[in-house]
Amino acid sequence: MEFPISDINKIIYSSIWPMLRISALLAIAPFFSIKALPLRIRILIGLSLTIFIYPEMTWPEIDPFSAPGVLEIINQIFIGCLMGFVLQIVVAAVVIAGQIISNANGLSMATLMDPSMGNVPVISQFLLIIATLIFMGTGGHLILISVLFKSFISVPIGASLLDPIVWGKLLSWSSVMFAGGLMMALPVMATMLVINAGLGVVTRAAPSLNIFSIGFPALIVAGLLATLFSLESIGLRIEWLWQKAFSTLSDILQVS
């Protein structure tokens, strides 16, 4: 069996466009972009998804070495990064929630080195693990792949998302990074506020008590217990944020 050079060039020139969008998404999206997932595995996933979707659609033949081809390369990378950035807002909200809880508990100095996020508190790392488990447990990776495939219909090769409406939706969604983090940390913040007020009353009533030797250990223990009892509500907030992220992503891409 012989394959003409023209047919091979046609396949390469047409398959590079979905591959670019898929690769950009895998480089930014949660779970797929973590350092624990080797680069070879990510490349294999990108190639597999491209092979699956390639026969399902008709792809334009654009020379990637021409001026329109270079612009289209930038466009496809931008679309993939935009999809991943929408989901990364949830990750940022979880990190902010962990920082707020750590400051309230007196554990702000207990940090770990995260290759993707930098120095983050240990509670943020713990919440990130919970967020990843919720993402995978609710089928978030499958929903993301489904939205990705549908995006090639709603935003085909050659179409652009550089639109003021899209930027407005993205800026509106980015505010959830702070609001979501505050909602997750609010139960622990309220509990610690009451405990701090109680310690203030005790210190005022008995000035001989050493607040440094009694108050700080009590705050840490009470903060950890408050965090433990608030995990259910925090988990529900994280699940809601993931659902809201996919809804916003579908809205931006106009995917039904």
pLDDT tens sequence across 198-248: 777 777 776 666 666 666 777 778 878 888 888 888 889 999 999 999 998
Shortest CA distance to 232 belongs to which of 99, 125, 88, 134? Answer: 134
* Mean pLDDT value across residues 180-199: 84
Per DSSP, the residues of 14-83 read HHHHHHHHHHHHHHHSTTTTSTTS-HHHHHHHHHHHHHHHGGGS------TTSHHHHHHHHHHHHHHHHH
* Mean pLDDT value across residues 38-44: 82
* Mean pLDDT value across residues 106-122: 62
* C-beta neighbour count of 169 within 10 angstroms: 16
* Mean pLDDT value across residues 133-149: 88
Given this model, what pLDDT does residue 111 score?
58
pLDDT at 44 over 80: yes
Q: Which segment, 28-37, 117-126, 231-240, is predicted with the most confidence on average?
A: 231-240
* C-beta neighbour count of 31 within 10 angstroms: 17
pLDDT at 118 over 60: no
pLDDT at 2 over 60: no
The backbone torsions φ and ψ at residue 114, rounded to the nearest 5 degrees and listed phi first, read: -105, 125
Give the pLDDT band of residue 6 (cuts 50, 70, 90).
low
Given this model, what pLDDT does residue 241 score?
92
Given this model, what pLDDT does residue 215 score?
67
* Mean pLDDT value across residues 108-120: 58
Q: Which residues of 224-242 are buried (b: 16+ CB within 10 A; e: fewer)?
A: eebbeebeeebbebbbebb
* Mean pLDDT value across residues 128-154: 87
Shortest CA distance to 238 belongs to which of 148, 188, 176? Answer: 176
The backbone torsions φ and ψ at residue 112, rounded to the nearest 5 degrees and listed phi first, read: -125, 155
Shortest CA distance to 231 belongs to which of 93, 91, 101? Answer: 101
Helices (runs of H) and strands (runs of E) counted in the chain: 9, 2
Half-sphere exposure of residue 90: CA atoms within 13 angstroms, side-chain side: 32
Residues in the chain, overall count: 256
The helix/strand/coil state of 110 is coil
pTM of the predicted structure, to 2 decimals: 0.82
Greater model confidence, 113 or 45: 45
Greater model confidence, 11 or 24: 24
The backbone torsions φ and ψ at residue 206, rounded to the nearest 5 degrees and listed phi first, read: -130, 85
What gap in Å lies between CA 105 and CA 118, rounded to an integer? 21
The backbone torsions φ and ψ at residue 3, rounded to the nearest 5 degrees and listed phi first, read: -120, 115
Greater model confidence, 244 or 50: 244
The percent of residues above 70 in pLDDT, for the chain, comes to 85
What are the Cα distances from residue 237, in Å, to 96, 99, 127? 13, 16, 11
Given this model, what pLDDT does residue 209 score?
64
